[in-house]
Structure 1
Amino acid sequence: MEPHPPVFHRRPEHPRGAVLLLHGGRETGPEEPPPWNLPGQRMRPFASALRRGLPDAVVARVRYRHRGWNPPRADAARDAVAALDGLAEEFGDLPVVLVGHSMGGRAALWAAGHPSVQGVVGLASWAPPEDPVEQLAGRRVVMFHSDRDRMTDPRGSWLCVARARQAGAAACGVRISGSDHAMLRRAALWHALTVRVVAGLLDPALMPPEIAAELAADAGGGPPPGPRRIGYEPIPVPGG
Structure 2
Amino acid sequence: MRQQATPVRTAGLGKAVGTEPTAVSGAVLLLPGGEEVSARRPSPVPAAPFVRSLGRRFARAGRGEGLAVHAVHYRYRGWNGSEAHLAQDASWAADEVVRRYGDVPVCLVGVDMGGRAALRAGGHEAVNSVVALAPWLPEEDVAASPEPVKQLAGRRVLVVHGTNDTRTDPELSFRLAARAKKANREVCRFEVHSDGHGLRQHRDEVLCLTVDFVMGALFGRPVSRPVEDALAAPPPIGLRMPLAAGFGRSLRRRL
Q: What interval of TM-score do these two structures reach, taking the shorter chain for normalisation?
A: 0.7 to 0.9
Residue deviations 1:34-80 (CA, integer Å, cap 9, x gap): 2016x634311111111112213110111000011111201100000
Select between 170-179 and 115-124 the one with higher mean Cα deviation: 170-179
CA–CA distance in 2 between the matches of 1:43 and 1:223? 29
Aligned counterparts, 1:139-178, within 5 A: 139-168=155-184, 170-178=186-194
Aligned counterparts, 1:175-194, within 5 A: 175-194=191-210
Task: State the secondary structure of the residue aligned to 1:152.
Answer: coil
Deviation at 1:86, TM superposition (A): 0.3
CA–CA distance in 1 between the matches of 2:200 and 2:242? 23
1:104 aligns to 2:104 (yes or no): no
Aligned counterparts, 1:84-233, within 5 A: 84-128=94-138, 129=140, 130-168=146-184, 170-217=186-233, 224=237, 227=241, 230-231=244-245
Distance 1:187 1:67, change over 3 A: same
Contact 2:131 2:159 in 1 (8 A): yes
Equivalent residue in structure 1 for 2:61, among 53, 60, 68: 53
Equivalent residue in structure 1 for 2:37, among 23, 28, 41: 28
CA–CA distance in 1 between the matches of 2:103 and 2:229? 28
What runs of 5+ residues in structure 2 fail to find an aligned partner?
1-7, 141-145, 248-255
CA–CA distance in 1 between the matches of 2:241 and 2:202? 20
Task: State the secondary structure of the residue aligned to 1:62.
Answer: strand
TM-score for the superposition, normalised by structure 1: 0.87
Task: State the secondary structure of the residue aligned to 2:82.
Answer: coil
Q: How many pairs does the alignment contain?
A: 229
Residue deviations 1:4-40 (CA, integer Å, cap 9, x gap): 2311214211222111100111101101112016x63
Select between 224-233 and 8-17 the one with higher mean Cα deviation: 224-233
The RMSD of aligned alpha carbons is 2.2
Select between 100-109 and 175-184 the one with higher mean Cα deviation: 175-184
Distance 1:227 1:145, change over 3 A: closer
Deviation at 1:200, TM superposition (A): 1.5
Contact 1:105 1:123 in 2 (8 A): yes
Distance 1:229 1:18, change over 3 A: closer
Task: State the secondary structure of the residue aligned to 1:205.
Answer: coil
Deviation at 1:178, TM superposition (A): 2.2
Task: State the secondary structure of the residue aligned to 2:48.
Answer: helix
CA–CA distance in 2 between the matches of 1:149 and 1:201? 27
CA–CA distance in 1 between the matches of 2:99 and 2:185? 26
In structure 1, what residue type is equivalent to 2:92? A
1:43 aligns to 2:51 (yes or no): yes
In structure 1, what residue type is equivalent to 2:245? G
CA–CA distance in 2 between the matches of 1:227 and 1:48? 26
TM-score for the superposition, normalised by structure 2: 0.82
Aligned to 1:13: 22
Task: State the secondary structure of the residue aligned to 1:145.
Answer: strand
Deviation at 1:232, TM superposition (A): 7.6
Deviation at 1:206, TM superposition (A): 2.4
Distance 1:119 1:229, change over 3 A: closer
Deviation at 1:118, TM superposition (A): 0.7
Aligned to 1:4: 11
Deviation at 1:224, TM superposition (A): 4.9
Distance 1:87 1:146, change over 3 A: same
Aligned to 1:82: 92
CA–CA distance in 2 between the matches of 1:232 and 1:138? 31
In structure 1, what residue type is equivalent to 2:40? E
